[in-house]
Chains A and B, each alone.
Chain A
């Protein structure tokens, strides 16, 4: 890894939020993204729980990256991740019992969220603590953003409210299907469609710029 080309920690943070968003671009962590997002607050709580686990384990893995032998690294990462997941499970049960009940078995399942192990293996274990924190915060920020988007859409359409606040009044007939499991797939499908459309449009613009420059350059060369 050469020092000159290394991106800044701000860039590492921002890439997870948007360009390499774990849900909309990398399509990681689909189980919680579909299962607990029947309301915006559940999506937010799941996102924050994942943020806590990802940031804390990234710090530890990055600090210990030279102490953990390569051969046992995955086992060590899982021990670290599982510890933080259990901690967050106990803390939620103690301080926010309602949210703990709503998220149910999915808190324990953060252990197997491939986003978390993936960041340890591909980033935290190879970078300094500051960069690892930036990467983890960006990725989990992107994950939380995605979960709140899915949860928000499902709650607005399925319950006629957002973060528990009623939006449309009495006359609104909620689309119950949106808060049922199929609603998760609908919301995620449309969001993926939207993100792909955005990405393609950006690519086309960039391509058009490159074409323009190349053609322009060739014309210049021809003239000379």
Chain B
């Protein structure tokens, strides 16, 4: 019963924050768009109509048309799939790998901790885009490889947080108690340590997702992102840039969408942080 009341309190606290609700709505809309994709538009994202090239935004073509006469609104809907998929997919990789390594390093300490921590410091020293570029070049162009390249880059973010939280939690009485009644390490990590950092992880996950979206857009802009014929919002920016003077809408709309998504994720992350922080009380 107590758990539910805590949960309710958190939900109430969350919904009292206007920006957090705005963030949640943006994220849900983006997710909906990504799932439904081009079926939300009467145009096909790949259909080229030569006589409709470079149409500015109008009631017929909401976001205008590109150099091949394709409807930009349909393309944006299609691109949402890739962008959201990369954001979620790479964050999942960073979350799982970073959490696992952080738990083990923090809990067991010793040589394992030293080696992994050093390795994470080394990964951390590479500027994100450069490391993702290098990994992606090694793995070759594919959607899954983009997940991995961006995911690996953000593993140290999760590792550092989880490791330091684990070191604190492992000294707490209930963990010592669990050990005393003969629970094994894996069970302690899973049942006692991990649940106690879930709020930190939830916040970090939303913020990491935002960073991954920008990383994907940057990679695609450099021409080393998702392979053709797939198109993310980032690769649309790349193809729109040389046409900036002739058809600025080709660069405007994908950029606005990326920014909205990142903004939504940041609002959501900040809102969750406040709502899950027991030190902050609204009443």
Tell me whether A and B are bound partners: no
